[in-house]
Amino acid sequence: MSAGEEDLIDYSDEELATTEAPAPAAGANGGVKGDSGNLTVSGNSAAAKKGSYPFPGADSNILRRFSKSVFPKPILGTDVLCQAKSGLGKTAVFVLTTLQQVEVVAGETSVLVMCHTRELAYQIRNEYQRFCHFMPDVKIGVFYGGVPITKDVEVLKNPETHPHIIVGTPGRLNALVRDKYLRLNSVKVFVLDECDKMLDQIDMRRDVQEIFRATPPQKQVMMFSATLSQEVRPICKKFMQNPLEIYIDNETKLTLYGLQQYYIKLEEREKNRRLNELLDELSFNQVIIFVKSTVRATELDKLLRECNFPSVAIHSGVSQEERIKRFNDFKDFNKRICVATDVFGRGIDVNKINLAINYDLPPDADSYLHRVGRAGRFGTKGLAISFVSSEADQEVLKAVEKRFEVALPEYPEGGIISHFFHISAITASIVCLGCVVVLRRHCHTRKIMIVFTELFSSPFVYLGVSCSGHGDDEINCAWKLMASQADNDTMVVVKDSATGKK
């Protein structure tokens, strides 16, 4: 199966043809790049000429600083080319800025957002609906393949249902534009999520160009990705005019803080047994298991269910309606284990995932970064384990270590001792709200609230751990275990809800 089919991108089978860039290249950047920061902002704007913003580290307010460097200019209509770590809120940036600018006119589309997979388009649509809760007049539409195009046509023909904001995949959008069901002459903002994936290959870029040409010359263009190579940046800038450019100069900072990464060297025939052992010994909230083909995804999912693991498989071999159902089951915590191809490798945000397993390693370092980025989002802790069973796998591992200057240790024979996973073991659920993580277990009698918060900074982690039916010694041990997570910059507050004492 081709890479395009595997990633569920709905492109026609017409012969590929190289096309010219749809817009003139941006002029030379007048920005000043700083020496100390890793997040570089450049461009011709006054804000860009201030230099570099220091990229947030372990003790920084990640989302606030990232958003501070990105938010002001998009709201004013500046083109933006933005690179940032997975899980920092790139989606929130373009969702909120486009909602600030959307023009509500019946029968006209003001904002167009494109991404490379159907599930990601569905997720972005849901984010728009969540953020525009108090904007009832704004209509959001999502268009992708796998469903009858007649349903999309019905929505577009009726001015009462015609979306002001459209999210979709290039194949379906291009078909609607080509058949003149979708007119984009009123588009004010054009957004590409995971832009490197969409523009790096000529067939994907062709569809994006056709849609781009159907939009007005004067519009705002925003592109986002965690990985923006030196080769793809000029391609992105050909769609823009004097963009605000935000890059991570030091790519070693692309790996997520709080994400533990290991590899396990084994034979191909040993993978199933080792996977079962890991799922038994590790306490996780949700796990994503990546494989290289739809056949392997189906068979591994079948094997896991036979072993009484509550798994679900998501790949291109499943009908679109069933895929969305499975995606929602996993996202809503009805299923804790998901076996997937690279359909889930980019952009998908399931905030309860704290374990990612590469059953099959991806072909390159960028794909590895996106995959493991499904765990440890918003500064939370997570674990990534990769199976290495061939020379090709070893080469990918070396490429990852070289690219991001990180030494991936071998998974210890005795397993790992992770306070995060111990804490998870005594909690029933984890809910991520922005940069706030709440862990909670219900009780009937006594409730101990343990709060971790970094002094003078956010995000903070709030742990509401209910201790019911435990002796004082056990509770004291739990306190000490969690307090051991703290360092000199962390305040630990322990509150007994029965007495109110802290």
CATH assignment at residue 125: 3.40.50.300
Specify the residue for token string 């989606």.
91
Q: Of 120, 128, 272, 263, give the one whose Cα is nearest residue 189.
A: 128
My answer on whether 394 and 468 are in the same domain is no
**Does 435 reside within a domain?**
no
397 in a domain, yes or no?
Answer: yes
Q: How far from 357 is each of 121, 291, 387, CA to CA, in Å? A: 24, 9, 8
Query: Domain check: are 147 and 235 in the same one?
Result: yes
Domain boundary among 202, 222, 251: 251
- Mean of pLDDT values over 262-287: 94
Q: What beta strand segments (E) does 266-416 contain? A: 286-290, 311-314, 337-340, 353-358, 382-388
- Minimum mean pLDDT among 35-39, 108-112, 370-374: which range? 35-39
Q: In degrees rounded to 5, what are phi and psi of residue 168? A: -170, 175
Q: What gap in Å lies between CA 114 and CA 143, rounded to an integer?
A: 10
Instruction: Report which of 207, 138, 139 is spatially closest to residue 176, judged by C-alpha positions.
Output: 207
Output the pLDDT for position 34: 30
Span 260-280, mean pLDDT?
94
- The model's pTM is 0.59
Handedness of CA 118, 123, 128, 130 (dihedral sign): positive
Stretch 122-132: mean pLDDT = 91
On whether the CB atoms of residues 178 and 12 are closer than 8 A, the answer is no
3-state SS string for 362-374: CCCHHHHHHHHCC
Residue 171 has pLDDT above 60, yes or no: yes
The closest of 195, 26, 192 to 111, measured between CA atoms, is 192
> Do the beta carbons of residue 344 and residue 362 sit within 8 Å?
no
Which amino acid makes up residue 433?
Answer: L
The CA distance from 207 to 195, in Å, is 13
The CA distance from 390 to 412, in Å, is: 20
pLDDT band at 379 (very low <50, low <70, confident <90, very high): low
Q: Give the pLDDT confidence of 352-377 residue by residue, as tens digits.
A: 888 999 999 998 888 888 888 777 65
Least confident of 67-76, 158-167, 256-265: 67-76
Better-scored residue on pLDDT, 498 or 445:
498
Within a domain: residue 335? Answer: yes
pLDDT for the residue numbered 229: 80
β-partners of residue 493 are 451
Predicted pLDDT at 143:
96
Residue-level pLDDT at 358: 96
Q: Where are the beta strands (DSSP E) in 182-319?
A: 189-193, 220-225, 244-248, 259-265, 286-290, 311-314
DSSP H or E run through 303? helix 294-306
Residue 55 pLDDT > 70, yes or no? no
Q: Is the pLDDT higher at 347 or at 320?
A: 320
Q: What is the CB neighbour count within 10 angstroms for residue 328?
A: 13
pLDDT at 68: 56
| Higher pLDDT, residue 465 or 296 | 296
108 pLDDT more than 50: yes
Whether 432 is in a domain gets the answer no
CA dist 277 and 356 (Å) reads 15
**Residue 118 and residue 11 share a domain:** yes
What average pLDDT does range 437-453 have in this prediction?
33
CA distance 390 to 254: 26
- Residue 497 — pLDDT band, cuts 50, 70, 90? very low
CA distance 438 to 435: 10
Task: Look at residue 288 in the predicted model and tell me its pLDDT.
Answer: 92
Beta bridge partners of 265: 388
Residue (of 30, 91, 66, 69) closest to 222 by Cα position: 91
Q: Tell me, yes or no, whether 74 and 180 share the same domain.
A: yes
d(C-alpha 161, C-alpha 84), whole Å: 35
The confidence score (pLDDT) of residue 67 equals 52
Same domain, 85 and 150: yes
* Residue 428 counted as domain residue: no
The percentage of residues in the chain with a pLDDT greater than 90, rounded to a whole number, is: 38
Residue 43 has pLDDT above 60, yes or no: no
In a domain, 426, yes or no: no
Do 300 and 405 belong together in one domain? yes
Mean pLDDT for 472-495 is 43
Mean pLDDT of 198-227: 89
pLDDT for 239 equals 94
Is 202's pLDDT higher than 50?
yes
Pairing of strands 429-433, 436-440: antiparallel
Q: What is the pLDDT of residues 283-330, one digit of tens each?
A: 888 999 999 999 999 999 999 999 999 899 988 888 878 888 898 899
- Contact at 8 Å (CB) between 457 and 61? yes
Give the range among 139-153, 285-299, 404-418 with minimum mean pLDDT. 404-418
Q: Is 205 a member of any domain?
A: yes
pLDDT tens-digit map of 238-255: 999 999 988 875 555 565
- β-bridge partners, 452: 461, 492
**Cis amide prior to 459 (ω within 30 degrees):** yes
- 103 lies in the same domain as 180: yes
Give which of 254, 282, 252, 305 is closest to 385, Cα–Cα: 282
Sequence-ordered alpha helix ranges (H) in 71-201: 72-75, 90-101, 118-131, 149-157, 170-178, 195-199
Of 421, 449, 474, the residue that ends a domain is: 421
- Into how many domains does the chain fold? 3
User: How many angstroms separate the CA atoms of 77 and 372, rounded?
Assistant: 33
Instruction: Tell me: do 103 and 200 sit in the same domain.
Output: yes
Looking at the fold, whether 242 and 297 belong to one and the same domain comes out as no
Confidence of residue 9 (pLDDT cuts 50, 70, 90): very low
Question: pLDDT at position 69, please?
Answer: 53
Torsion angle, alpha carbons of 34, 39, 43, 48, to 10: -70
pLDDT band at 31 (very low <50, low <70, confident <90, very high): very low
38 pairs with which residues across the strands? none
Separation CA 365–CA 345 (nearest Å): 12
Question: For residue 159, which phi and psi values (nearest 5 degrees)?
Answer: -60, -25
pLDDT: is 26 or 61 the higher one? Answer: 61
Q: Looking at the domain assignment, is residue 97 inside a domain?
A: yes
449 and 410 belong to one structural domain: no
For residue 139, pLDDT beyond 90:
yes
Which tokens go with 152? 């999309």
Domain that holds residue 478: 441-496
- Determine the average pLDDT of the residues in 193-199: 87
Amino acid identity of residue 448, one-letter, is I
Cα–Cα distance between 467 and 472 in angstroms, integer?
Answer: 10
Tell which of 209, 235, 251 closes a domain.
251
Query: Looking at the structure, do residues 316 and 460 belong to the same domain, yes or no?
Result: no
Residues 406, 458, single domain; the answer is no
Q: In 231-259, which positions are buried (b, 16+ CB within 10 angstroms) versus exposed (e)?
A: ebbebbbbbbbbbbbbbbeebebbbbbbb
